[in-house]
């Protein structure tokens, strides 16, 4: 697959950050191009250096306590980090959170 074709698979999604992740990224939201959650996470940590330690554990696996939703559904209840992205998906990323 050529580089051009790989880029063509990517879609633009809106990523919203919440709670302490707003401090780590210094922003509330941004638009990112990626084809799946794995790529999206890589792009987020490239753009925001403080997010690496939040999104990934020391063994480079995803931090299961972080909540990542696509259009309101947790990726854990979809295909995890393999979940494909569709154009204009609403991505919401939260640190470990609770209340009630």
Among positions 34-93, residues that touch other proteins (CB under 8 A) are: 64-65, 67, 69, 72-74, 76-77, 90, 92
- Residue selected from 18, 43, 52, 56 as contacting other proteins according to rule CB under 8 A: 18
Which residue lies nearer to other proteins by CB, 10 or 16?
Answer: 16
Could you give the CA distance from residue 52 to residue 66 in angstroms, rounded to a whole number?
12
**83/100 Cα distance (integer angstroms):** 29
Considering only CA atoms, which of 51, 55, 58 is closest in space to residue 24?
A: 51
CB 19 within 8 A of CB 95: yes
Q: In angstroms, give the least distance from the CB of 82 to other proteins.
A: 16
Cα angle 10-83-13, degrees, rounded to a multiple of 5: 40
Selected binder of other proteins within 9, 11, 16, 42 (CB under 8 A)? 16
Residues that bind other proteins (CB under 8 A): 16, 18-20, 22, 64-65, 67, 69, 72-74, 76-77, 90, 92, 94-100
């Amino acid at each position: 697959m050529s580089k051009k074709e790989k880029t063509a698979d990517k879609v633009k999604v809106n990523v919203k950050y919440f709670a302490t992740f707003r401090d780590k990224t210094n922003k509330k939201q941004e638009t990112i191009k990626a084809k799946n959650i794995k790529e999206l996470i890589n792009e987020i940590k490239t753009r925001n250096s403080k997010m690496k330690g939040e999104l990934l554990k020391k063994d480079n696996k995803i931090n299961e306590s972080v909540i990542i939703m696509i259009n309101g559904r947790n990726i854990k209840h979809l295909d995890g980090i393999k979940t494909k992205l569709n154009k204009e998906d609403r991505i919401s990323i939260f640190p470990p959170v609770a209340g009630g």
